[in-house]
Structure 1
Amino acid sequence: MINLDSRDEIRQIDSQNVLGSVEKLADQCEQAWREVSATPLPRQYSQARNIVVCGMGGSRFTPLAIRELFRDRISVPYDIVDGYHLPGYVNSDTLVILSSYSGTTEEVLVCAEEALKRKALITGITAGGKVAEFLSRHTLPGYIFVPRYNPCGQPRVGGGYMLMGHLGMLTKLGYVKVAKEEVAQAIEMTRKFTAQNAVKVTADKNFAKQVAEQLRDRHVFVITAEFLRGFGNGFANQINETAKLISDPRYIPELNHHLIEGLQRPESLNKNGLFLFVFSSLYSDPIKKRFTITKEVVEKQRLKTWWWELTGSGRLAQLLEAFTVSGFVTFYLALLYGTNPVEIPWVDYFKKRLAE
């Protein structure tokens, strides 16, 4: 079995340096926040009546995380499209944000053409590719970044660019109000949690390594609520792609109305199921109570649970704390299986078949 404390052993599996990307989340966030704040955007883009973000995978769960985090602060309706077509209401008063790290996402490119036909206010967040070409061809503004702090090149571990790219754009356009100090503090907290979960920190003091051991060979249910719902979706995505392990994001209070009755079968579930409760003291009081009771109900049905309580001083700090730790968790989990964390063979196969 691999020694998670050894960089030499890790390099034998992590040939494309996913670790280097995971360790640089704070730098990704800092670069994106600084650059998007300086990106020129037309005044009319601040006057949209609604916002639609088009994105898939890692370029979807990042704006989703921002939407859920600032749900009570975003000043206009904000929707996310994870398919080929825009909602019927999209028109010249809609701000459409094309969200694609790679710039090659098929669904996003189809939506881009629809947005153009409907005369929407179009912008984008991307590292290049056809999305950048589309913006350039039609003289449209956008945040096109050079991912200096994502050495492995995989979008899902370059999430800092998309997270802070979206937040920075919404803030610059006036749809969200967030203090620079709040952002700076959250990024500083990210550095703190990166250090606490680094390779050199042994498992007895390394929370991410402990969680990875718990998730091994489990069907993981990631339980979140309120402002962390977007993160829950992202964490499950990372578990799927990086560790090649089944995982489902579930949300309180919704799951209390059905899921807790579905845990009786199949019988194998109480052997391999695990509920990972991502708890925050910043949840509302009714949600806090539901978390406690839900954990009790799950354990009464003989399923394993793990309680993860975030400690950041504010909601943005806790979101970045969660993404920092989960990045290490899924990386370590992949290594425990001896799996190269960057490879996504079935996604690649699927895309190849689509292109035929």
Structure 2
Amino acid sequence: MIDLDDISGYERLDPSGLNRRLHDLPAQCDQAWREAKNTDIPDGWRQCTEVIVAGMGGSAIAGNLAADLIDPLSGTSIRVVRDFSIPGISANSRQLVVACSFSGETEETISMFNHAQSVGVSMVAIVGGGTMSRLATNAGIPIMTVDAPGEPRSAVGCNLMLLSSLLNSIGAISLTDANVAAAVAAAESMVSQVGVEVPTETNPAKQLAKDLQGGLSVVYGGGSLSGMALRWKSQINENGKSWAFAEVLPELFHNSVESFPASPEIKQRTTALLLRPHQTTPELGKRYDVIAETLNGFGIKNRTFTGVSGGGLAQSLAMVVLGDHVTYYMGLLNENNPSETPSIDLSKKRLSGQDRSF
């Protein structure tokens, strides 16, 4: 098994330097926030009551994270759609569709883009180039450019900050430059605690990766960390090359808890990861307490990770950094290149008819 404190292992299994991209996420966020200010926002968008983020995979997750930044009393809601079409949209509505694609070639996202355009709903594209960028340009649809190296999931900081700037401009959320600076500082602080140069004995991300190796991870999130559960789950899949599932509080009390007594052979290999906001309502806080007690009562391993103090964006960015490093180390421990996604690539070839080996 790889020694996470031996740099030669990183050079062998991570030739593209994903660890450097993880390290640079705070700077990526700062740059994207600054560049987003150059986007002209039509006045009419400030009256929208629903923002629909259309995308897939690493490009869509920013929508879930941004939704967690919305004040419950806000007059604007966020909906994330991962599909071929977008239900419930109409022309002359107060809706705004944000089509997100890192490559600009994602089949499902292009399909949703075309659907939204045919309906005549207000649109903006957050895209790195490719076909969707050309379609948006030709249609006169505003573009916010994703400028980040590597794989789509590594551009989460750029995507989130572009989307947050847009939401801030239309009044859906409230962010200041000072808020963003504090959030970037929180992310930098987390990098300093979990980066590759920090030895395992003082590195919580390396320690957790070792604990999770070879097992099943179930990620629980609620409140302002609801979307974060899905981010951690997908990163355990993609970076860590491991099985994981995500659940949301309080919903899991109405179904998932019923499985806790069953299947001892699964329970002994399962770890529940509770992502708890720094501040919760009394109702949600009680449910975090009770779910931990319930897991303990049934002998299911569990760990709680509480968000950092400060605003919602600071909590989100710091938790992204922690989860990304944990899953990166999981991939290395599994003797895999954490950047590559061969099974996703194979699936895309089969869907396109290029591979008929099955």
TM-score under structure 1 length normalisation: 0.95
- Corresponding letter in the other structure for 1:20: R
- Partner of 1:324 in structure 2? 321
Between the two proteins, the alignment pairs up a number of residues equal to 352
Larger mean Cα displacement after TM superposition, 83-92 or 315-324: 83-92
State the alpha-carbon separation in 1 of the partners of residues 288 and 132 from structure 2.
Answer: 41
Larger mean Cα displacement after TM superposition, 307-316 or 55-64: 307-316
State the alpha-carbon separation in 2 of the partners of residues 74 and 155 from structure 1.
Answer: 30
- 2:214 aligned to 214, 217, 223, which one? 217
- Partner of 1:19 in structure 2? 19
State the alpha-carbon separation in 2 of the partners of residues 243 and 49 from structure 1.
Answer: 38
- Corresponding letter in the other structure for 1:19: N
| Mapping of residues 245-264 of structure 1, within 5 Å | 245-264=242-261
Q: Aligned with 1:268: secondary structure?
A: helix
| Mapping of residues 125-136 of structure 1, within 5 Å | 125-136=126-137
- Corresponding letter in the other structure for 1:142: I
CA contact (8 A) 1:73 1:177 kept: no
State the alpha-carbon separation in 1 of the partners of residues 88 and 197 from structure 2.
Answer: 52
Q: Offset of 1:194 from its aligned partner? A: 0.6
Question: Which runs of 5 or more structure 2 residues have no equivalent in the other structure?
Answer: 354-358
State the alpha-carbon separation in 2 of the partners of residues 293 and 72 from structure 1.
Answer: 24
State the alpha-carbon separation in 1 of the partners of residues 186 and 129 from structure 2.
Answer: 30
Residue 121, structure 1, aligned to residue 122, structure 2: yes
- Corresponding letter in the other structure for 1:138: A
Q: Offset of 1:74 from its aligned partner? A: 4.2
| Mapping of residues 257-336 of structure 1, within 5 Å | 257-336=254-333
CA contact (8 A) 2:89 2:121 kept: no
| Deviations, residues 229-257 of structure 1 (Å, cap 9, x unaligned) | 01111110010111111111111211112
Q: Kindly tell me: are residues 74 and 31 of structure 1, through their superposed partners in 2, closer, same or farther at Cα, counting changes over 3 Å?
A: farther
State the alpha-carbon separation in 2 of the partners of residues 306 and 260 from structure 1.
Answer: 16
Residue 340, structure 1, aligned to residue 355, structure 2: no
- Partner of 2:173 in structure 1? 176
State the alpha-carbon separation in 2 of the partners of residues 262 and 76 from structure 1.
Answer: 36
Residue 186, structure 1, aligned to residue 183, structure 2: yes
- Corresponding letter in the other structure for 1:306: R
State the alpha-carbon separation in 2 of the partners of residues 279 and 75 from structure 1.
Answer: 25
CA contact (8 A) 1:312 1:321 kept: no
- Corresponding letter in the other structure for 1:2: I
Q: Offset of 1:71 from its aligned partner? A: 4.3
CA contact (8 A) 2:61 2:231 kept: yes
C-alpha RMSD over aligned residues: 1.4
Q: Aligned with 2:87: secondary structure?
A: coil
Q: Offset of 1:107 from its aligned partner? A: 1.1
Q: Aligned with 2:264: secondary structure?
A: coil
State the alpha-carbon separation in 1 of the partners of residues 233 and 213 from structure 2.
Answer: 14
- Partner of 2:46 in structure 1? 46
| Deviations, residues 20-45 of structure 1 (Å, cap 9, x unaligned) | 11111101111111111121232223
- Partner of 1:207 in structure 2? 204
- Corresponding letter in the other structure for 1:334: G
Residue 144, structure 1, aligned to residue 141, structure 2: no
- Corresponding letter in the other structure for 1:100: S
CA contact (8 A) 2:125 2:136 kept: yes
CA contact (8 A) 2:53 2:97 kept: yes
Runs of 4+ in structure 1 deviating by more than 6 angstroms, as ranges, are none
- Corresponding letter in the other structure for 1:294: I
| Deviations, residues 87-117 of structure 1 (Å, cap 9, x unaligned) | 1333233211101112111111111111111
- Partner of 1:9 in structure 2? 9
CA contact (8 A) 2:146 2:159 kept: no
Q: Aligned with 2:275: secondary structure?
A: strand
TM-score under structure 2 length normalisation: 0.94
Q: Kindly tell me: are residues 352 and 278 of structure 1, through their superposed partners in 2, closer, same or farther at Cα, counting changes over 3 Å?
A: same
Percent identical: 27
Larger mean Cα displacement after TM superposition, 77-86 or 333-342: 77-86
Question: Which runs of 5 or more structure 1 residues have no equivalent in the other structure?
Answer: none
CA contact (8 A) 1:6 1:199 kept: no
CA contact (8 A) 1:299 1:305 kept: yes
Residue 231, structure 1, aligned to residue 228, structure 2: yes
CA contact (8 A) 1:54 1:97 kept: yes
Q: Kindly tell me: are residues 245 and 154 of structure 1, through their superposed partners in 2, closer, same or farther at Cα, counting changes over 3 Å?
A: same
Q: Offset of 1:58 from its aligned partner? A: 1.0
